[in-house]
Amino acid sequence: MRAIKEARKFIERNPADPSAKALAKLVLALESEAEFPIIDIYQLDFERFNLALDILREWRLDRYFAGKAKLFDTATHASSLPL
């Protein structure tokens, strides 16, 4: 969650900065599962480029855990049903 928190702080401090706009656009695309032009990441400076990659890593990990939690809920519900 470090990258997501860092991105939030950067966007809040610099909302008009092109890098902040690109990171915000990336987050919105991830949340809505929309397309995102990868060139927007390549155009970031090195530090923000790495931040974007870290956001992608954390987002993927969070999705894995969310999927695991949903599976656990489904399994719990299924095991409580009569045979």
- Domain-located, residue 83: no
Report the pLDDT value the prediction gives residue 81, as an integer from 0 to 100.
Answer: 78
Phi, psi of 35 (to 5 degrees): -70, 150
C-alpha 34/C-alpha 27 separation (Å) is 10
- Domain-located, residue 56: yes
Report the pLDDT value the prediction gives residue 46, as an integer from 0 to 100.
Answer: 98
> How many domains are there within the chain?
1
Give which of 1, 2, 3 is closest to 53, Cα–Cα.
Answer: 3
- Domain-located, residue 14: yes
C-alpha 30/C-alpha 49 separation (Å) is 16
By residue range, what is the domain housing residue 50? Answer: 2-78
- Domain-located, residue 8: yes
This prediction's pTM: 0.78
- Domain-located, residue 18: yes
Residue whose entry in the numeric block shows the structure tokens 């599976």: 71
Report the pLDDT value the prediction gives residue 75, as an integer from 0 to 100.
Answer: 78
Report the pLDDT value the prediction gives residue 82, as an integer from 0 to 100.
Answer: 78
How many other C-beta atoms lie within 10 A of the C-beta of residue 39? 8
- Taking only the tens place, the pLDDT of each residue in 4-44 is 999 999 999 999 999 999 999 999 999 999 999 999 999 99
Q: Which two tokens stand for residue 9?
A: 């702080």
- Domain-located, residue 52: yes
Sign of the torsion angle spanned by Cα atoms 14, 41, 27, 69: negative
